[in-house]
Amino acid sequence: MLKQEILYQPNSANLFARIADRPWAVFLDSGQPESQFGRFDIMAANPFIRLITSGAQTLIIDQNGSRSSDADPFELLKASLAPYALEQTELPFEGGAIGYFGYDLARRIEHLPEVALDAEEMPEMMVGVYDWAVVVDHRLKRAFLVSHVMHSETQQDWLALCTLFTEPQRLEVKPPFKISSALQSNMNYKDYSKAFHRIQEYIHEGDCYQVNLAQRFSAKASGDGWEAYQALREISPAPFMTYMNVEHKQTAFKVLSASPERFLQVHGQHVETRPIKGTRSRSINAQEDAANAYALQNSAKDRAENLMIVDLLRNDIGKACEVGSVQADNLFALESFANVHHLVSTVTGRLAQGMTAIDLLRACFPGGSITGAPKLRSMEIIEELEPHRRGLYCGAIGYIGFDGNMDTNITIRTAIYSHGEIRFYAGGGIVADSELDKEHSETLDKASSMLALIQRFGGDVSLADNKA
């Protein structure tokens, strides 16, 4: 193993800036170093294996060239990692897979109707296998460049990598990020109302108990996506943030995620998921802010929604965990972020013998907190009522290490910047006693950090046709 300590910097963005433009650069950003979930930041670039799933085919690019396979993409990822398996590593990540699993990758698991328009024009999965990484430990205030030298080029490039992260660097001046159009939504209030009432009909007819309904926002954009992400992490720091700079077929995709929600974590045999259900807006008035938090904590409706999803996730992780090991450890905990309060529950389990983190990911994908219950019927209704396929939104981003450990987010509060446009979604769970105006307002509350980002770079976020 190669390990080089480098100068710790409280703002890890200063380190990542050195590689932000490199091929497949990724930054798993804890966002708020003082929080219990904000200890480690992870960054890497130039993976030696790339897996890109589009429709029924996965393109695998490695040192032997490229080939295409119609096999299960989760199994292909397992096979790509298998030759490099390690025992438990000291740091949370010392090489392995990092990437995204888009919501629509679920079509490789379940049979879903094809109704919504695929306007994202991005692969359903983009995962790289990385031979080196920088890991920043905010608790110990130390940072390390690490590699287990799984790829021959790493040994040759090691001194250059050490120099890159230790010597002063002159950063390139790039065109500033800017928004050049008013923000648009794919659902005005009338459209949202129609979809809301159709979900209510489905619930009363017994088709489902809850459906997550989301709208898609977009605006024309140009310039440096890394600049936009740095602004987002100031506006809305969150524990499971990500910036990705990936490319496919000469199209660059910048992923700017400020997710507050953990999807699945595996450490050894320990499994954890932390679903969010229940939201109230923050207020600059301390008394009003406290009242909003109190109302959320004591809302029977929000607690019932949260419990419904906890039960769904207990069932999902139970598919890959030892019988009797799954339990809800902490229900309805209040967590407060820059723009919203949330109710967060914690569900844990123990990975069953013979099961891997990737098996668990497939068994639970996509996360139940952003589909509804029952999951498959909710996804069918989402496909019927949302005008566009979700793409990466409500999928997962994270790592699976050579040692088998994994940590992933639920990809909410996330923007995609590509094709001269920035796009993001916001939604919420609809249940039997939901109220139209409150649900619509909650959607805009959840979009508030992205709206602030658009506004900061000159965009009009009035959304006049999106109001009641």
Q: Is 223 left (phi over 0), alpha (psi -120 to 50) or beta?
A: left
Residue 9: pLDDT above 80? Answer: yes
Mean pLDDT, residues 196-202: 98
The CA distance from 397 to 57, in Å, is: 20
Q: Quick one: pLDDT at residue 467? A: 61
Contact between 442 and 279 (Cβ < 8 Å): yes
Structure-block tokens of residue 70? 């119609």
Structure-block tokens of residue 366? 């996509």
| Residue 173, domain member (yes or no) | no
Residue 36: pLDDT above 70? Answer: no
Return the sign of the alpha-carbon dihedral for residues 148, 154, 157, 163: negative
Per-residue pLDDT reduced to its tens digit, 172-194: 889 999 999 999 999 999 999 99
Residue 403: pLDDT above 90? Answer: yes
Share of the chain above pLDDT 90, in %: 85
The CA distance from 151 to 146, in Å, is: 13
**Residues 2-20, buried b or exposed e (16+ Cβ, 10 A)?**
eebebeeeeebbebbbbbb
Residue 37: pLDDT above 70? Answer: no
Structure-block tokens of residue 415? 């923007």
Neighbours of 295 (CB within 10 A): 12
Nearest Cα residue to 42 out of 87, 88, 97: 97
Confidence at 235, pLDDT banded by 50, 70, 90: very high
118, with CB counted inside 10 A (0-12, 13-18, 19+), is middle
* 3-state DSSP assignment of residue 201: helix
| Residue 247, domain member (yes or no) | yes
Output DSSP code: residue 21: T
Q: Taking the model in full, what pTM does it have?
A: 0.95
Per-residue pLDDT reduced to its tens digit, 342-398: 899 999 999 999 999 999 999 999 999 999 999 999 999 999 999 999 999 999 999
Residues with a catalytic annotation lie at 261, 277
Mean pLDDT, residues 96-114: 96
| Residue 39, domain member (yes or no) | yes
Phi, psi of 75 (to 5 degrees): -70, -35
Taking every pair of C-alpha atoms in the chain, what is the biggest distance, in angstroms?
Answer: 65
For every residue of 143-184, DSSP letters joined together read EEEEE---SHHHHHHHHHHHHHHHS---PPP-PPPEE-S--E
357, with CB counted inside 10 A (0-12, 13-18, 19+), is buried
Q: What is the dihedral of CA 125, 44, 161, 8, to 10 degrees?
A: 180
Phi, psi of 211 (to 5 degrees): -135, 130
The CA distance from 283 to 30, in Å, is: 24
The CA distance from 40 to 216, in Å, is: 31
Least confident stretch, 114-118, 274-278, 449-453: 274-278
Residue 34: pLDDT above 60? Answer: no
| Residue 170, domain member (yes or no) | no
CATH label of the domain that carries residue 383: 3.60.120.10
The CA distance from 41 to 33, in Å, is: 9
Q: Quick one: pLDDT at residue 337? A: 84
- Return mean pLDDT, the chain: 94
Mean pLDDT, residues 153-175: 90
The CA distance from 426 to 345, in Å, is: 21
Per-residue pLDDT reduced to its tens digit, 308-348: 889 999 999 999 999 999 999 889 999 888 788 889 999 99
Domain extent at residue 439? 2-159+179-466
| Residue 168, domain member (yes or no) | no
Q: Quick one: pLDDT at residue 32? A: 62
* 3-state DSSP assignment of residue 86: coil
Residue with tokens 């619509």: 440
Contact between 238 and 31 (Cβ < 8 Å): yes
Q: Quick one: pLDDT at residue 289? A: 92
Mean pLDDT, residues 399-422: 97
Mean pLDDT, residues 185-214: 96
Confidence at 35, pLDDT banded by 50, 70, 90: low
Q: How many residues does the chain have?
A: 468
Residue 464: pLDDT above 70? Answer: no
Strands (E), 30-120: 40-44, 49-54, 57-62, 65-69, 96-101
Mean pLDDT, residues 242-259: 96
In one-letter notation, the amino acid at residue 63 is: Q
For every residue of 416-460, DSSP letters joined together read EEETTEEEEEEEEEE-TT--HHHHHHHHHHHTHHHHHHHHHTT--
Number of folded domains in the chain?
1
Residue 465: pLDDT above 70? Answer: no
Structure-block tokens of residue 430? 């609809």
| Residue 395, domain member (yes or no) | yes
Mean pLDDT, residues 412-419: 97
The CA distance from 102 to 104, in Å, is: 5
Residue with tokens 């139940």: 368
Q: What does each C-alpha distance from 10 to 34, 162, 392 come to in angstroms?
A: 10, 19, 29
